[in-house]
């Protein structure tokens, strides 16, 4: 297994599979220098720290700090990925600012919204939204252009710039949806203990396999097993639904 390297003190270390999730919960802390988000590049790291602060306090001043970083980040993402679309600084500015406001809006429409993997990927997705959205206020900068014969031609994403960002976003939406479902089904447990056993069984099932979940319920006289099975059924049908969309 390749070691993990702290970007800031260069210390190399191994994070065992079974504590990886906990390590993420503990904000990717370097075991040597103690810096948080130690594997992330500076911009992503700064944004994560500010995001944590904002989520904890909901302080508007932090949004302004986030905005400043997002502004230069999004601009450089635009130049890297979409410079073939336009070099007009006014238009670029327009797209960049729209993308950022779509992005920041997320924190207000969804209190649980939190970037956990990459701000860059999500910003790319929001840039795409800003550029391609067919809404009134953007039509002025539409990428469709009129041909001499009067027909319209549409800009095509022939290089697949958005595939990665879109996948990331789809995964984010799916994961969030599943998380909400898993929590919601817990409301149908008869007791906190039953819910605890349900979560324990699910976690064993997903991480180690069905046999381990079975042994757990055998050990505890089937406590929580029914609702665990019900949760699996719901998960299965939800995942089928997403498979249908592909
Ligand atoms: Zn370090």
pLDDT, one tens digit per residue, over 146-196 is 455 555 444 545 555 556 666 666 777 777 788 888 888 888 888 888 999
Q: What value, to the nearest 5°, has the Cα angle with vertex 134 and ends 131 and 140?
A: 70
User: How many whole angstroms from its chain centre is CA 97?
Assistant: 21
In this prediction the pTM is: 0.56
Q: Hey, where are the domains in the chain?
A: 1-39, 41-164, 188-245
CA distances 204 to 163, 197, 208, 224, 229, Å, are 33, 10, 5, 13, 13
Return the axis-axis angle of helices 42-57 and 119-132, rounded to nearest 10°: 80
Q: Residue for token digits 């370097």?
A: 30
Question: How far apart are the CA of 71 and the centre of ligand 1, in A?
Answer: 28
The span from the CA of 159 to the CA of 147, in Å, is 22
Question: How far apart are the CA of 33 and the centre of ligand 1, in A?
Answer: 4
Q: What is the pLDDT of residues 203-237, one digit of tens each?
A: 999 888 999 999 999 998 888 899 999 888 888 87
Residues with Cβ–ion distance below 5 A, ligand 1: 6, 8-9, 11, 30, 32-33
Q: What pLDDT score does 243 carry?
A: 61
């Amino acid at each position: 297994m390749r070691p993990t390297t702290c970007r800031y003190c260069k210390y190399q270390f191994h994070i065992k599979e079974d504590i990886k999730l906990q390590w993420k919960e503990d904000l990717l802390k370097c075991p040597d220098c103690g810096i948080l988000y130690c594997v992330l590049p500076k911009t992503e790291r700064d944004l994560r720290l500010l995001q944590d602060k904002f989520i904890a306090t909901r302080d508007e001043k932090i949004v302004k700090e986030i905005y400043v970083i997002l502004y230069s980040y999004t601009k450089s993402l635009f130049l890297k990925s979409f410079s073939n679309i336009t070099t007009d600084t006014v238009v670029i500015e327009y797209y960049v600012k729209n993308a950022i406001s779509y992005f920041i809006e997320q924190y207000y429409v969804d209190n649980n919204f939190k970037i956990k993997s990459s701000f860059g990927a999500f910003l790319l997705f929001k840039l795409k939204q800003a550029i391609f959205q067919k809404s009134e206020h953007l039509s002025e900068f539409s990428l469709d252009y009129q041909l001499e014969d009067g027909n319209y031609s549409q800009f095509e994403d022939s290089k697949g710039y958005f595939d990665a960002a879109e996948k990331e976003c789809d995964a984010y939406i799916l994961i969030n949806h599943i998380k909400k479902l898993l929590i919601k089904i817990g409301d149908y447990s008869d007791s906190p203990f039953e819910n605890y056993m349900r979560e324990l069984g699910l976690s064993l099932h997903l991480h180690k396999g069905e046999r381990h979940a079975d042994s757990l319920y055998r050990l505890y006289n089937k406590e929580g097993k029914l609702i665990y099975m019900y949760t699996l059924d719901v998960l299965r049908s939800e995942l089928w639904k997403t498979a249908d969309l592909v």
